[in-house]
Amino acid sequence: MIATLEQKKNITAASADRKPVLFRISRVQKDTHDTFTIDLEPPKGGFYFEPGQFNMLYLHGVGEVPISICGDPSAHDKLIHTIRAVGTVTKAMQKLKKGDLLGVRGPFGTNWPAEESAGSDILIIAGGIGLPPLRPSIYHVLANREKYGKVVLLYGTRTPKDILYRKELEQWRARFDMEVHVTVDRAAGDWHGNVGVVTTLISRSHFDPSSTVAMLVGPEVMMRFTVLELQKRGIEPDNIYISMERNMKCGTGFCGHCQYGPTFICKDGPVYPYPAIKDVFVKREI
Amino acid sequence: MMESLEPLLAEHPFLKGLDPRHTQIITGCASNVRFDTGQIIFREGEEANQFYIIRQGKVALQIYTPGRGSIIIDTLTEGEVLGWSWLIPPYQWRFDAVASELTRAIALDGKCLRNKCEADHDLGYELLKRFSSIVDQRLESTRIRLLDIYDSNP
Amino acid sequence: MKTKEPLPTPTVTIERKNLDVLFSALIKNGYNVIGPTVREGAIVYDLITASNNMPVGYTQEQNAGKYKLVKHGDQSVFGFNTAPLSWKKFLHPPTLELCHSHRDRNSVTITTPKIEPQKHAFVGVRPCDLAAISVLDKVFIASPYTDVGYQARRSDVFIVAVNCGQAAGTCFCVSMQTGPGATKGFDIALTEIIEKDRHYFVAEPGTDQGETILKSVPHKEANIYELKAAESQLENTAEQMGRKVDTTNIAELLTNNSDHARWQEVAKRCLTCGNCTMVCPTCFCSTIEDVTDLSGDNASRIRKWDSCFTLGFSYIHGGSIRSSVMSRYRQWLTHKFSSWHHQFGTSGCVGCGRCITWCPVAIDVTEELKAIRSNEQTNPSTKSTKEKQ
């Protein structure tokens, strides 16, 4: 499930002394009014990760935040993070520019079952800032397209202005071997796309529920309703994977902050098979 | 024309599994329609005497607010049903419906159906059940959107 | 070289007057001796050099929300139980610089403080605290990550354990199967015996180093009478223990009862002060603070003990996950007695009773657990799933 043993060793070595490794920023791009993407150049040796994993990003003097990795898992010469400016650290990161240095610890956490799902239909459902953590999986699936059945991407955001990776979405939509549906919560009359919650897209898309692996990321409310809808469509709980978010300080299970039921999101998650957290998923204040 | 509509209706998710007798009655009130991109299907305030079973395309439900222009409330596509105001007095549309792309649908005459439902309560009950399920889904969708879950400052 | 057949390690006796030889032997071997001493009306663990630094003749009256240091009447060296703050502070320091970041124009350099080896001898470690150290080992070493700082601090610790000759009012180690006698994890285990005309220690070596140290202290091989005396003392202590926890399926008990009404009851009393987490010998949660100098060029990342009782603990953008007192108390107790098994294969509670003693409103975990068990929920999860309409 998790990274290879060799990678794991590196992680242990890199993270245990809590020392971030400095990466230089090669590009900064504004995606939306509050979201931006930074490309980082790994030091020699490259950067290896599995789709779904995250890094702890450290900005000198401001702090460290967990951010999922959203680039291509097969491209080791570039590390990409899409960040939404919502807190002190991420807002400060918004001011970063090409050439600046950013500390990186990671990768941490479990991954999407991208490789393990060969032979199945792939249903990827993202809400809001949930698309970046799923993008590495999309890259992996598309790079090995022949190994999978139908591939469907459903993506919901607040307004058309909040849609991430527009160009790529257009490219994916143009493919004959991928179904892409985007919906927004609200839009003006000149919007030609869908309006409605992302769960309404499920019944509009084509996949075989008996052999579909669903991967979802979004606000918890969205994921709760999505899981219900997927089960209604006949997808087995075992084939539903969700990525959880909590306040992580260390990434290594030492700080205790990201406990979710009996698990630590940083090392037992962020990606869970739904049955693993089913019991706490509907519990409040867990 | 009518002969060809019955199987189309019977297969549509909205009417699937309906008693053939009822499908037949409904077919009696049905007609094939087509809307081009941008064509207005109905407008807020107009008398609501139909509903539409969408076979292909996309319809935007909109509301016009001064200053903000038209706001899209919901979009409906293939396999879905547009309109239930024909069921509830005073039978008046509450929103505008605009085809956002070429849309093919089956229009059902609400006035005709209302009478048939009154005459045959079995049919009426069956249709109401199906409509309440749609109302439930739309309400749920609306409620979730009301939460504004993607907002960065909730 | 062929390895020696391990010889049966003999349990010996050391007379009270020779206890200081043990101290000097440890000091001679390069250890900083840390042991109990009296400070500001309480017992604390700190640097000591001889037995007269210790709380000779003292004991502690402990009960829910109550702690008092009193004179004992005899000359016992270990006539009290645990100090309020456990050994955790030496192995997992309350504040610790993780790394330092220096900015110079367009460049940043990050360095980590050098880990200085510390040779500590912990003298007077109670069996519950011994268990707590082994719990911390599971948290910080190969879990699967290793906190190298913890590992370094831990590796050179020499442990002189002390079996309990009395139970404090809040102890429940028998229930948690950690005491009152030490069975493993020590270099030397002492049992203090005071008789009418003799004051001595039965000393059992647990490791080769322990045996070596013991050899340099005047001793005699323990006879059957002395061994019996030590044994019966442990039996008495176990009998004295006033508090009990039924640990049968306790992990499931708590996860199945997450909506139990008792959580609301205890939340009415809990002040969320976090005392229990500070005194707990196994609570390990921490936060990280970023500190800079005035120029902003020098920044440090400081790790500090944190408590799951604070509102900020579960903060994610937008708000705290555990905003109610109920959910924070539930988190703590459930983590300690339930999640811990899943996470580290052991209970997070060792039965030391500190959380009971130091709770300002006298909340007693043993009472809370009893209340939940006595009135288990029959259908735990129906409530929160039926909210759709």
Tell me the C-alpha distance between B87 and B68, whole Å.
30
> Is the CB of C319 inside 8 Å of chain A's CB atoms?
no
CB contact under 8 A, B152 and C319: no
Residue C389 is assigned to a structural domain of this protein: no
Per DSSP, A52 falls in state T
Contacts of A77 by beta carbon, 8 Å cutoff, 6+ apart: A41, A42, A46, A47
pLDDT above 70 as % of chain C: 95
What is the pTM for the complete model shown? 0.90
Of A12, A103, A254, the CB nearest to C286: A254
pLDDT category at C299 given cuts 50, 70, 90 is very high
Q: What does the alpha-carbon distance between residue C205 and residue C11 come to, in Å, rounded to a whole number?
A: 7
* Residues C64 and C201 reside in one and the same domain: yes
- CA torsion sign, A68 to A70 to A72 to A77? negative
**Lowest model confidence (mean pLDDT) among B64-73, C25-34, C187-196, C286-295:** B64-73
**In this structure, what CATH number is given to the domain that contains residue A69?**
2.40.30.10
> How many angstroms separate the CA atoms of C187 and C221, rounded?
17
Flag whether residue B133 sits within 8 Å of chain A, measured between CB atoms.
no
- Among residues C240, C260, C287, which one ends one of the domains? C240
Mean pLDDT of all residues in A259-274: 95
Distance from CA of C356 to the nearest CA of A (A): 22
Residues of A in contact with B149 (CB under 8 A): 127-128, 218-219, 221-222
Same domain, A200 and A120: yes
Claim to verify: residue C282 and residue C202 sit in the same structural domain: no
Judged against a pLDDT cut of 90, whether residue C72 lies above it is answered with no
Confidence check: pLDDT of A69 > 50: yes
Q: For residue C1, is it within any domain?
A: no
| Cβ contact A282–C323 (<8 Å) | no
Q: Judge if A119 and A26 occupy the same domain.
A: no
Edge-to-edge strand ranges of the sheet holding C188-194: C42-47, C32-39, C120-125, C158-162, C188-194, C199-205, C12-15, C220-221
What Å distances lie between residue A8 and A29, A47, A74, A108, CA to CA? 31, 13, 17, 9
C104: helix, coil or strand? strand
Pair C235, C160 in one domain = yes
**Range C219-228, long-range pairs (CB < 8 A, 24+ positions):** C219/C12, C219/C13, C219/C14, C219/C18, C220/C12, C220/C13, C221/C10, C221/C11, C221/C12, C221/C13, C222/C10, C222/C11, C222/C12, C222/C13, C226/C13, C226/C193, C226/C200, C226/C202, C227/C11, C227/C202
**What is the sign, positive or negative, of the torsion defined by CA atoms of A182, A188, A191, A195?**
positive
Answer yes or no: are the C-beta atoms of A247 and C316 closer than 8 Å. Answer: yes
Tell me, yes or no, whether A270 lies in a domain. no
Q: Does position B2 have pLDDT exceeding 80, yes or no?
A: no
Say yes or no: A133 and A231 in one domain: yes
B46: closest CA of chain A, how far (Å)? 19
Average per-residue pLDDT for chain B: 91
Residues A188-202: what's their mean pLDDT?
93
Residue C3 lies in a domain: no
CA distance C208 to A205: 69
Q: What is the pLDDT of residue C175?
A: 97
C132 & C24 share domain: yes
**What length is written for chain C?**
389
C109 and C165 together in one domain: yes
pLDDT of C388 above 50: no
Q: If we measure between CA atoms, which residue out of C352, C351, C349 comes closest to residue C81? A: C352
Joined together, the tokens standing for residue A196 give 């409605």
Name the minimum distance, in Å, from the CA of B93 to any CA of chain A.
18
Task: Tally the domains of chain A.
Answer: 2
**Within a domain: residue A71?**
yes
Last residue of a domain, one of C189, C218, C240: C240
Q: Which residue of A has its CA nearest to C320?
A: A285
Q: Do the bridges between strand A151-157 and strand A121-127 make them parallel or antiparallel, or are there none, so unpaired? A: parallel
What residues make up the domain containing C361?
Answer: 250-378
Rounded mean pLDDT of A205-218?
96
Nearest-5° Cα angle at C135, C134 to C141: 80
- Report the pLDDT value the prediction gives residue C126, as an integer from 0 to 100: 97
Q: How many CB atoms within 10 Å of residue B73?
A: 19
pLDDT at residue C10, rounded to an integer: 85
Rounded mean pLDDT, C290-295: 94
Q: Is 80 exceeded by the pLDDT of residue C5?
A: no
pLDDT, mean of residues C280-309: 96
Residues of chain B with C-beta less than 8 angstroms from the C-beta of C319: 154
Same domain membership, residue C147 and residue C79: yes
Structure tokens at C190: 């002492």
Residue A37 lies in a domain: yes
DSSP string, A57-104: EEETTTEEEEEE--S-TT-TT-EEEEEE--SHHHHHHTT--TT-EEEE
C189, C321: one domain: no
The CA distance from C202 to C134, in Å, is 24
Per-residue pLDDT tens digits for A116-159: 999 999 999 999 999 999 999 999 999 999 999 999 999 999 99
Which DSSP letter does residue A238 get? G
pLDDT tens readout for residues B98-114: 999 999 999 999 999 99
- The domain tally of chain C equals 2
**What is the predicted pLDDT for the residue at C374?**
94
Tell whether C277 and C232 lie within a shared domain: no
How many angstroms separate the CA atoms of B86 and B110, rounded? 6
How far apart, in whole angstroms, are the C-alpha atoms of residue C90 and residue A2?
33
Query: What's the mean pLDDT when you consider all of chain C?
Result: 92
CA dist A38 and A69 (Å) reads 11
C337-363 pLDDT, tens digit per residue, is 999 999 999 999 999 999 999 999 999
Whole-angstrom distance, CA of residue B84 vs CA of residue B103: 19
For residue C178, being part of any structural domain is answered with: yes
Å from B85 to nearest chain A CA?
20
What is the 3 state secondary structure string of chain B? CHHHHHHHHHHCCCCCCCCHHHHHHHHCCEEEEEECCCCEEECCCCECCEEEEEEECEEEEEEEECCCEEEEEEEEECCCEECCCCCCCCCECCCEEEECCCEEEEEEEHHHHHHHHHHCHHHHHHHHHHHHHHHHHHHHHHHHHHCCCCCCCC
pLDDT at C9 over 80: no
What pLDDT is attached to residue C317?
A: 81
Looking at the fold, whether C206 and C262 belong to one and the same domain comes out as no
pLDDT band at A17 (very low <50, low <70, confident <90, very high): low
Residue C376 confidence (pLDDT): 83
Side chain identity at A130, as an amino acid letter?
G
**Residue B153: per-residue pLDDT:** 60
Q: The tokens of C153 are what?
A: 């601090």
Does residue C5 form part of some domain? no
| Same domain (yes/no): A57, A164 | no
User: Is B1 a residue whose pLDDT tops 60?
Assistant: no
**Pairs of CB atoms within 8 A across A/B:** 76
Residues C311 and C223 occupy one common structural domain: no
Is C299 an interface residue toward A (CB < 8 Å)? yes
Mean residue pLDDT of chain A comes to: 92
Buried-state track C336-360, b at ≥16 Cβ within 10 A, e below 16? bbbbbeebbeebbbbbbbbbbbbbe
Residue span of the structural domain in which A40 resides: 5-108
Residue with tokens 């645990």: C82
Among the listed ranges A215-219, A280-284, C118-122, C231-235, which one has the minimum average pLDDT value?
A280-284
Q: Is the pLDDT of residue A80 over 90?
A: yes
Question: Of A108, A130, A151, which one is at a domain's C-terminal end?
Answer: A108
Q: Evaluate whether residue C300 is within a structural domain.
A: yes
pLDDT in tens, C73-119: 889 999 999 999 999 999 999 999 999 999 998 799 999 998 877 89
DSSP string, A102-153: EEEEEEES----TGGGTTSEEEEEEEGGGHHHHHHHHHHHHHTGGG-S-EEE
Residue C2 scores a pLDDT above 60: no
B76 alpha carbon, distance to own chain's centre: 9
Average pLDDT (C285-297) is 95
Does C54 share its domain with C188?
yes
The domain made up of B2-146 has a fold known as Jelly Rolls (2.60.120)
- Using CA coordinates, name the residue in chain C closest to A87: C317
Whether C319 has its CB under 8 Å from any CB of chain B: the answer is yes
Q: Does C308 lie in the same domain as C342?
A: yes
Last residue of a domain, which of A108, A127, A157?
A108
CA distance C141 to chain A (A): 10
CATH number, domain with residue A133:
3.40.50.80
Instruction: Find the residue in C nearest to A246 (Cα).
Output: C316
In the prediction, which pLDDT does A63 show?
96
Distances (CA, A) of A77 to A10, A80, B112, C30: 17, 10, 68, 49
